[in-house]
Structure 1
Amino acid sequence: MHLEFEKPIVELESKLADMKLLAQQSDVDVSAAITKLEEKIVKLKEDTFENLTRWQKVQLSRHPERPYTLDYIYEISDDFIELHGDRTVKDDKAMVGGFAKVEGLSVMIIGQQKGRNTKQRQERNFGMANPEGYRKALRLMKLAEKFNTPVITLIDTPGAFPGIEAEERGQGEAIARNLKEMMTLTVPIVSVVIGEGASGGALGIAIADKVLMMENTWYSVISPESCSSILWRSWDYKEQAAEALKLTAKDMLQHKLIDGIIKEPLGGAHTDMKAASKELKKEVVKHIKNLEKLSVEKRIAERIDKFSNMGVVA
């Protein structure tokens, strides 16, 4: 699948493949033409992805080939041991987590997981966690605290599950409890938005010492479609809504709502998962090592101040 703004690039890449095939199957020297076309493709990619609109960034964050939480976990860590269940209701497969080793550091990694095909999407509930998912996440964080292990959270959700059964089991309470408990967790916490970061569903695992966003992701109180449907009674204005929401990584950094942006390969994380994972691992490890140098009291105080200073009070 290719997004609309990717099609000119795909067409040139197809021509390049044909040209390389011609070079293999004949004695015609087309090396100069190949080099020129390769340079043209790189330039087109740079121009295209440097000037993406906010709505195009949203589209890129949802690319079906984009790496999900488990993809990153298996790429950046060793000896991942997935843990299950909230010890109250059930195991929510939209939320995954467990102990792992990252660059020799013992960590607890937690994140929302989407599915690749219809069956997986149903099983993972499209990455929308129920209350038991947030309670599982908190249980794992408390376990990490018990063993003095840093926590990494990977955020990729269109929001917490809004179903009646989720509300009956206390969706709002579960997320609110996570916000409260994460604020004073004694171990370092680093959160990374790797795809969609929507509403309280994202915030429920995003209270951290350092909050990072990958380059082509978004983070907002509401999705552009939902915002459009509320303001204009239609999804047709989602592009205008995305512009108004200012939800990209650059916007979030400018407003001091995040602490850094993780660079993605040209064309997006889905074009080179290993390179994207390498950057993510480098940034996460760097921040964890810096946070471990601080005392528990100072780390918690700075975390509280960080979130207390957000927003404007009239």
Structure 2
Amino acid sequence: MSLDYLEFEKPIAELQEKIAELQRVSSAGELNLGAEISRLRAKNLRLTKEIFAKLGAWQITQIARHPLRPYTLDYIERIVVDFQELHGDRMYSDDGAIVAGLGWIDGHRIAIVGHQKGRDTKQRTRRNFGMARPEGYRKAQRIMRLAERFSLPVVTFIDTPGAYPGVGAEERGQSQAIAQSIEVMATLKTPIISVVIGEGGSGGALAIGVCDKLLMLKYSTYAVISPEGCASILWKSADKAAEAAEAMGVTTRELSKFGLVDEVIAEPLGGAHRDYDETARSVKDKIVDALREFENVDNEQLLENRYARLMSFGKFELKA
């Protein structure tokens, strides 16, 4: 699989290209280049570690948006047993930007809700680039209420630039659907575990992100608006997106300082797209740990803890 290197990864890509060329020559039997290939591989590993040790917020944002990054269905395929997808909001239609259903993780029966982007043009159109419409969030609410009815924990996978802002979505009550989702999750009498696997953008992410435990992959982001949107408002130019990303504190490093993230999940060197299986195993382990953590918590205590968690976010000072 082509790794589709990002701009800041060009030195890695160039070195990888040299390694590939030497492998082609060596496999043709013309020369034995094993020692040189090993040397370049070691150099490539060192270079990758150096680059990824000092990533800025904008570079991490690019990784979070990487077109080959694993999406919700990729995780479901690897960590969920007997997944049964459920469709439709029983009001308007089925929204492909939201995947929802029931399944098993390590013996735990759960309900799953997640954003889904597409790999190619056809899929991206069907999934609307992971930007859900009102019917998507109403589908999510339906599945969550079903989970509450049968005492199933809810696991959500967050990966969206934001809720779809189109005219049709607004006409069908986009803001109301998001508000209702937040209300449903705030009062749901069953554990909720949310995992940010890519972009956590604006209300579109928050609509399935009110939870008892928030997990984030190391190179994912979470913010009230995209860096480009913030730059367009503050500097009247999306070209300032990199500066906006730094100022907004969209990365796990910054969010952890403010206690907004409960746990950061490690990714393979180079990002989750370098190894789907390893990333999925790490995500599964953290989800299973969280499910066990809430096994013996009664509903009343669960709601009290959730309320206290939400109220702990942010600080303000009253000045005379």
Structure 2 counterpart of 1:79, from 73, 77, 82: 82
> Hey, what does 1:281 align to over in structure 2?
284
Q: Tell me the equivalent position of 1:123.
A: 126
> What is residue 269 of structure 2 aligned with on the other side?
266
Deviation at 1:24, TM superposition (A): 3.0
Secondary structure of the structure 1 residue equivalent to 2:211: coil
Deviation at 1:28, TM superposition (A): 4.2
Equivalent residue of 1:86, what SS? coil
Partner of 1:199: 202
Q: Which amino acid aligns with 2:16?
A: E
Letter in 2 for 1:286: D
Give the partner amino acid of 1:109. Answer: I
Partner SS, residue 155 of structure 2: strand
1:61 and 1:172 mapped to 2: Cα distance? 25
Aligned match of 2:238: 235
Q: Give distance in 2, aligned partners of 1:293 and 1:25.
A: 62
Alignment counterpart, residue 219 of structure 1, candidates 214, 218, 222: 222
2:92 aligned with 1:89, yes or no?
yes
> Alignment partner of 2:114: what SS?
strand
149, 152, 159: which one pairs with 2:152? 149
What displacement does 1:33 show?
Answer: 2.1
Structure 2: any 5+ residue segments left out of the alignment?
none
Tell me the secondary structure at the aligned position of residue 213 of structure 1. Answer: strand
Deviations 1:19-65 (A, max 9, x none): 23333333744333222211111111111111111001111111111
In structure 2, how many angstroms separate the alpha carbons of the residues matched to 1:154 and 1:298? Answer: 24
Q: Which amino acid aligns with 1:129?
A: A
- Measure how far apart 1:295 and its partner are: 1.9
The aligned amino acid for 1:130 is R
Q: What 5-or-longer segments of structure 1 have no aligned partner? A: none
Deviations 1:72-129 (A, max 9, x none): 1111111111000111111111111100111121111110111111121111111111
Aligned residue for 1:114?
Answer: 117
Does residue 54 of structure 1 match 2:60? no
Q: Counterpart of 2:192?
A: 189
Distance 2:125 2:35 in 1: 50
CA distance in 2 between partners of 1:273 and 1:117 (Å): 18
Give, in whole Å, the separation in 1 of the partners of 2:30 and 2:238: 54
2:163 to 160, 166, 174: 160
Q: Which amino acid aligns with 1:226?
A: G
The answer on 1:68 being equivalent to 2:50 is no
User: Residue 242 of structure 2 aligns to which amino acid in structure 1?
Assistant: E
Aligned to 2:108: 105
CA RMSD of aligned residues (A): 1.2
Residue 11 of structure 1 and its aligned partner are, at CA, apart by: 1.2
CA distance in 1, matches of 2:65, 2:30: 43
Q: State yes or no: 1:247 paired with 2:247.
A: no
SS at match of 2:177: helix
Q: Please state if 1:310 is matched with 2:320.
A: no
1:67: Cα distance to partner?
0.8
- For the pair 1:37 / 2:43, whether they are aligned, the reply is no
Cα distance in structure 1, aligned partners of 2:77 and 2:100: 12
Deviation at 1:145, TM superposition (A): 0.9
How many residue pairs align between the two structures? 314
When the two structures are superposed, what TM-score results if normalisation uses the length of structure 1? 0.97
TM-score by length of 2: 0.95
Show CA shifts across 1:224-283 (max 9, x none).
Answer: 000010111111101100010000011111110110111111111111101111101111
Q: Could you tell me how far apart the structure 2 residues matched to 1:152 and 1:258 are? A: 16
Supply the AA of the counterpart residue of 2:203.
G
The 1:161/1:27 distance shift into structure 2, 3 A limit, reads: closer
Rounded to whole Å, the distance in 1 between the matches of 2:49 and 2:300 is: 44
